[in-house]
Amino acid sequence: MPDAGAAWSQRRDTVPLPLQVDGLCYRVDEETLIDNISVSIDSPGISVILGPNGAGKSLFLRLIHGLIDPSAGDIRWRGRPPDLAQRRRQALVFQKPVLLRRSVAANIDFVLKPLGAGYRERRDQILQAAGLFRLRDHPARLLSGGEQQKLALARALATDPAVLLLDEPCASIDAGSTLQIETLLEQTSARGVKILLVTHNIGQARRLADDVLFLHHGRLLEYSPAEAFMKCPKSPPAQAFIDGNIVL
Amino acid sequence: MKTGKKQALLAVALIGLISGSGIAGERSIIVQSTTSTANSGLYDHLLPQFKQDTGITVHVVAVGTGQAIKNAKNCDGDVLLVHARSAEEKFVAEGYGLSRHDVMYNDYIFVGSPADPAGIAGGGSATIALKKIAASRSRFASRGDNSGTHKKEMALWKQTGIDPTAHSGAWYLETGSGMGATLNAAVGSNAYGITDRATWISFANKSDFDILVEGDAALFNQYGIIMVNPARCRQVERESAQAFIDWILSSKGQAGIAAYQLTGQQLFFPNAKP
Amino acid sequence: MQDFGAAFGLAFSLVFNADADLVEIILLSLRVSIGAVALAALIGFPLGALTAVVAFPGRQAIAVLLNALMGLPPVVVGLLVYMALSRAGPFGWMNLLYSPAAMIIAQTILVTPIIAALTRQVVEDMHREYDEQFRSLCIPPRRVIGALIWDSRYSLLTVTLAGFGRAIAEVGAVIIVGGNIDHLTRVMTTAIALETSKGDLALALALGFILLVLALSVNAAVYGLRLSARRLSYA
């Protein structure tokens, strides 16, 4: 596997790091869902946002992507707010893939076409890389859950993002597709793309994470390199989570 | 872009669809006329002959006389052929039309069910029939649409001194519709009605209704023809309109009117002044 | 009533003999109503999608207005178009009154609010599903509207059908602006009105049956199309 660090240094200029989050809060009707998160992420590779259900992981992802506005606090990608210009350099893969009511190929074309000529070859490359080429003429919405998620990921990659955000991409799909997606993510990371991956699957975190953000009840309890986090988590909920206990 | 081409193609197809065959290149006029003349089939009988003689296509808009006059005032026609003499003369006097000519006549008749609750059958006076209907409060279906027939009916009521509209909705039913619709209403609700003879002969939904009163000179029904004033309405096809009027008033047109029969009965009687 | 039996017989004989006048009237009916619906779709799809997707001042008002205009009486539309196209009216110089074009214009006005209002509902539902993904992809509004219209194409087919049903069935507008002129502007509904006024109820009813069959076949064709779309999970 190529060295992520080497590619990273080559792409350093194009990847808008560090991501600085300062006093981030998100409330709905007096209920605080994201509670004063501050963190600075400047590492290459894959950052896994880990935590039990309802910890606020998906919200955190949407906030830093700029899809929703925080109630308080500040988000900066290398000093810039998460506006349209920043979002253009990012891609988000949703937990439940949102596919167009078209063929597999047309779903990729949708994001490639504005980039101009030669999009057909690029689309075919992308579909091949995702293992979807033979399905290119199938209606996207008749694919299996795993295939749909692979297509959503392929479409995200087709936009050539500098930052790839994923929200539980493997939450409800088969093992084979999970493996293919994880392989794709490793390759992507190796090309120097910064990846932020939300998961509550500790196994997936172990396999992929370079560093870990552990969220619990809307709070960031821990941000450490993956190895350190897995060996000796600092907070009791993180310890319980790693041990496979139910964390409330 | 591909979609751009598609849209252009669609637009072209649409324009073709809308403009379609149309009436381009062919001489044609619009005649604002009455339902009685059109529904009786008179025009279907006359117009092919006229077209053969002159090559001019005549488009007939068949509405009530009141509506026809209003449309003609809006310049939406070249010729007016209706049956309400005083309204026609007013139309000419106000400068909307050129001179008016008598074309043909027939007569109005009272129709009703054989039960005849007002006992008007066999009578020869229109005003007596109306008085009997009002006195017995028998149902009467009126056009109520300012048409030639309606104007005639109102003139007859005026002679009786009765204002039927005071009983509108009780026994006096104003349909506000064409002759056919009013006859349908009369037949459907067992009401009396006044109609021109041509419409009655060609009317197919008579049920058991019959002619009850006829022959009163007051029931005379005169049709007139007028060219819409080209000085007011620039779009009037003056030559073609004049050709149509001349032809209708000519011996050939008049003979054509006389020759038109339905179920062995003559519907219109030509009376143009030579 | 004996009229029903007679009407059925008459309808069959008219159809089987391919009565030339009837064919002409049917073709004109289709041309006018399909033309009007196509124009209305061209206006109504983007308009409906726009009100569903883009937040602009007066959007709610337009949505309410479109819904209200769905119930516009055909004769009112006919009257308005007559006044506009009359030679005494502002567009009299176009010489369109008493032509199929005038009928298409009237029916377009009648059908556009229906298509726009229903499109708004269809597109709004789909927009809810696609919104975050599109915002994440930074798709500009124009493309969002285009994509939503394209992706709801099979639902919009049903919307179009609702418009077509209204157009092909109305008589109030076309009889005023078309004038029911034989061989020029006579369509199925005005022919039915004419035969009714002549008291020829059997013939009127026969034409009504034929109109019904016409509408049924169009509906069946679209239904079939939708079924196959559902199999592809596009609907």
pLDDT value at position B12? Answer: 62
pLDDT value at position C228? Answer: 84
Shortest Cα distance from A176 to chain C (angstroms)? 24
B36 with B70, same domain: the answer is yes
- Please give the order of strands across the beta sheet that includes A90-93: A90-93, A163-167, A194-199, A46-50, A211-216, A219-225
Phi, psi angles (nearest 5°) of residue C56: -130, 155
pLDDT digits (tens, 9 = 90+) for A139-196: 999 999 999 999 999 999 999 999 999 999 998 899 999 999 999 999 999 999 999 9
- Rounded distance between C-alpha atoms, residue B37 and residue B256, angstroms: 14
Residue A90 has pLDDT above 80, yes or no: yes
Interface test mutation site (partner B, options C153, C176, C181, C200, max chain B beta carbons within 10 A): C181
Comparing CA positions, the residue from B67, B69, B117, B108 lying closest to residue B226 is B69
- Residues with Cβ within 8 Å of residue A147, at least 6 apart in sequence: A132, A135, A177
Q: Count Cβ atoms within 10 A of the Cβ of residue B200 and give its class: 0-12 exposed, 13-18 middle, 19 or more buried.
A: buried
pLDDT digits (tens, 9 = 90+) for B71-110: 999 999 999 999 999 999 999 999 999 999 999 999 999 9
Ranges A85-94, A117-126, B189-198, C98-107: which has the least confidence = A117-126
B112 with B213, same domain: the answer is yes
Query: For residue B126, is it within any domain?
Result: yes
Residue in C132, C151, C232 nearest the CB of A142: C232
Query: For residue B4, is it within any domain?
Result: no
B197 with B229, same domain: the answer is no
Cβ separation A98–C135 shorter than 8 A: no
Residue C119 has pLDDT above 80, yes or no: yes
Q: What's the CATH number where B150 sits?
A: 3.40.190.10
**pLDDT band with cut points at 50, 70 and 90 for residue A13:** low
Total-model pTM = 0.86
Neighbours of B115 (CB within 10 A): 10
Comparing CA positions, the residue from A28, A23, A157, A19 lying closest to residue A82 is A19
Q: For residue A110, which residues of chain C lie inside 8 Å, CB to CB?
A: 147
Q: Residue range C120-141: average pLDDT? A: 95
More confident residue, B58 or C17: B58
Cβ(C177)–Cβ(C102) below 8 Å: yes
B231 with B101, same domain: the answer is yes
- Rounded distance between C-alpha atoms, residue C180 and residue C32, angstroms: 13
Cβ(C177)–Cβ(C98) below 8 Å: yes
Shortest Cα distance from C149 to chain A (angstroms)? 11
**pLDDT band with cut points at 50, 70 and 90 for residue B5:** low
- Rounded distance between C-alpha atoms, residue C28 and residue C188, angstroms: 8
CATH topology assigned to domain A4-97+163-174+184-242:
Rossmann fold (3.40.50)
> Before A82, cis peptide (omega within 30)?
no
Comparing CA positions, the residue from A247, A223, A217 lying closest to residue A56 is A217
Residue in A92, A101, A110 nearest the CB of C234: A101
Q: Kindly identify which residue of chain B lies nearest to residue C180, measuring between CA atoms.
A: B61
Q: Which chains touch C (3 or more CB pairs under 8 A)?
A: A, B
Full set of structural domains in chain C with CATH: 2-230 (1.10.3720.10)
- Rounded distance between C-alpha atoms, residue A70 and residue A202, angstroms: 28
pLDDT value at position C192? Answer: 95
pLDDT digits (tens, 9 = 90+) for B136-163: 999 999 999 888 999 999 999 999 999 9
Query: For residue B8, is it within any domain?
Result: no
Query: For residue B155, is it within any domain?
Result: yes
Query: For residue B20, is it within any domain?
Result: no
Structural domains in chain B (count): 2
Residue B216 has pLDDT above 70, yes or no: yes
Comparing CA positions, the residue from A214, A225, A95 lying closest to residue A166 is A95
B206 with B237, same domain: the answer is no
Ranges of beta strands (E only) in A4-158 are 19-28, 31-41, 46-50, 72-77, 90-93
pLDDT value at position A2? Answer: 46
Domain ranges of chain A: 4-97+163-174+184-242
Q: Residue range A198-222: average pLDDT? A: 94
pLDDT digits (tens, 9 = 90+) for A42-73: 998 999 999 998 899 999 999 999 999 999 99
- Rounded distance between C-alpha atoms, residue A210 and residue A231, angstroms: 13
pLDDT digits (tens, 9 = 90+) for C15-72: 888 888 899 999 999 999 999 999 999 999 999 999 999 989 999 999 999 999 999 9
Is A67 in a helix, a strand, or coil?
A: coil
B229 with B99, same domain: the answer is yes
**pLDDT band with cut points at 50, 70 and 90 for residue B9:** low
pLDDT digits (tens, 9 = 90+) for C64-87: 999 999 999 999 999 999 999 998
- Residues with Cβ within 8 Å of residue A189, at least 6 apart in sequence: A4, A44, A45, A46, A195
Query: For residue B97, is it within any domain?
Result: yes
What was the ipTM of the complex prediction? 0.90
Is A136 in a helix, a strand, or coil?
A: coil
Residue located via tokens 């025009």: B43
The domain of B120 spans 107-219
Query: For residue B257, is it within any domain?
Result: yes
pLDDT digits (tens, 9 = 90+) for A1-11: 445 555 555 55
- Residues with Cβ within 8 Å of residue C143, at least 6 apart in sequence: A114
Comparing CA positions, the residue from A182, A178, A162 lying closest to residue A170 is A178
Query: For residue B112, is it within any domain?
Result: yes
Shortest Cα distance from C138 to chain A (angstroms)? 6
- Rounded distance between C-alpha atoms, residue A167 and residue C12, angstroms: 64
More confident residue, A13 or C164: C164
> Before A18, cis peptide (omega within 30)?
yes
Q: Residue range B262-270: average pLDDT? A: 93
Residue in A62, A98, A102 nearest the CB of C130: A98
Q: Residue range B111-115: average pLDDT? A: 95
B226 with B146, same domain: the answer is no
pLDDT value at position B2? Answer: 44
pLDDT value at position C232? Answer: 77
pLDDT value at position A141? Answer: 93
Q: Would you give the DSSP letter of residue A82?
A: S
